[in-house]
């Protein structure tokens, strides 16, 4: 009987040991499964992050390319050629041409203001056009010459006056823009031609473009710095 009991105890011990081993194996399998699930979740999260970054990058690149394309298209102007065909022209920033427009504005003013003919209507016409390009300082200079009888002598003496602008120096680094003009003035009489050196100074300020002022500038503080005879050429 003792031997049979011992055998049963041994069987129980073996069964208990077997159950413990199975339990341990089961726990290891569960742990391994959990580890696999966690690794899979990490991989899925990594893939999702990479995919999201890739989508954002592609979207950003597409938006940037679209904006760039739109900017390039805005730089193109199509001009209708006599109603038949479209010609491609390139648009430019208006500020790029401002120095050129400023010099042309000053040059045009001097040509109008200092080109005189022995005709009262022609003088007044030129002066009106010149006054559209400048402020009261130009009118004051004209009025001073008029009071001194300068224009009456031009008319009575049948004198022609013209100007050749040598250079227009503008400083576009500071506003209002300081300008100095160097020119030659020719006073043509029937007996001789007087050549004068003319230097003027003024300031340019931005104004509204119009038919009378296409460059969109206005001359301020106009003054004659130098106006002296260089030579007299007999005719």
Distance, in Å, from the CA atom of 224 to the CA atom of 201, rounded to the nearest integer, reads 6
Question: 64-94: per-residue pLDDT in tens?
Answer: 888 887 777 666 655 555 555 445 454 455 5
Q: Two tokens at 62?
A: 């597409």
Name the pTM for this structure. Answer: 0.62
Q: Two tokens at 140?
A: 């004051």
According to DSSP, the residues that pair with 28 across neighbouring strands are none
Question: 168-182: per-residue pLDDT in tens?
Answer: 999 988 999 999 999
Per-position pLDDT tens, the chain of length 235: 445 455 455 555 555 555 555 555 565 565 556 566 667 777 788 888 888 888 898 888 888 888 887 777 666 655 555 555 445 454 455 566 788 999 999 999 999 999 999 999 999 999 999 999 999 999 999 999 999 999 999 999 999 999 999 999 999 889 999 999 999 999 999 889 999 999 999 999 999 888 889 888 999 999 999 999 999 988 7
Stretch (H or E) spanning 69: helix 2-74
Edge-to-edge strand list for the sheet holding 160-171: 160-171, 177-188, 192-206, 217-234
Distance, in Å, from the CA atom of 20 to the CA atom of 15, rounded to the nearest integer, reads 9
Percentage of the residues of the chain whose pLDDT score is greater than 70: 74
Specify the pLDDT at position 194: 94
Q: Which segments of the chain are extended strands (E)?
A: 76-81, 85-90, 160-171, 177-188, 192-206, 217-234
Distance, in Å, from the CA atom of 84 to the CA atom of 149, rounded to the nearest integer, reads 57
Region of 199 on the Ramachandran plot (φ > 0 left; ψ -120 to 50 alpha; else beta): beta
Taken in order 177, 226, 168, 214, is the CA torsion positive or negative? Answer: positive
Distance, in Å, from the CA atom of 172 to the CA atom of 182, rounded to the nearest integer, reads 18
């Amino acid at each position: 009987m003792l031997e049979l009991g011992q055998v049963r105890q041994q069987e129980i011990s073996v069964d208990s040991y077997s159950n413990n081993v199975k339990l341990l194996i089961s726990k290891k399998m569960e742990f391994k499964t959990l580890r696999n699930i966690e690794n899979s979740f990490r991989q899925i999260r990594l893939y999702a992050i990479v995919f999201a970054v890739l989508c954002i990058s592609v979207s950003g690149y597409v938006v940037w390319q679209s904006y760039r394309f739109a900017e390039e298209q805005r730089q193109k102007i199509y001009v209708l050629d006599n109603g038949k065909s479209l010609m491609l022209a390139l648009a430019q920033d208006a500020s790029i041409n401002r120095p050129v427009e400023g010099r042309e504005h000053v040059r045009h003013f001097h040509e109008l203001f200092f080109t005189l003919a022995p005709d009262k209507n022609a003088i007044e016409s030129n002066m009106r056009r010149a006054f559209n390009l400048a402020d009261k300082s130009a009118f004051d200079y004209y009025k001073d010459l008029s009071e001194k009888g300068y224009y009456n002598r031009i008319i009575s003496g049948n004198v022609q006056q013209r100007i050749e602008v040598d250079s227009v120096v503008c400083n576009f680094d500071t506003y209002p823009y300081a300008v100095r003009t160097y020119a030659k003035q020719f006073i043509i009489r029937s007996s001789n031609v007087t050549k004068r050196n003319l230097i003027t100074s003024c300031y340019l300020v931005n104004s509204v473009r119009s038919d009378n002022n296409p460059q969109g500038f206005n001359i301020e503080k106009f003054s004659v710095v130098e106006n002296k005879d260089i030579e007299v050429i007999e005719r």
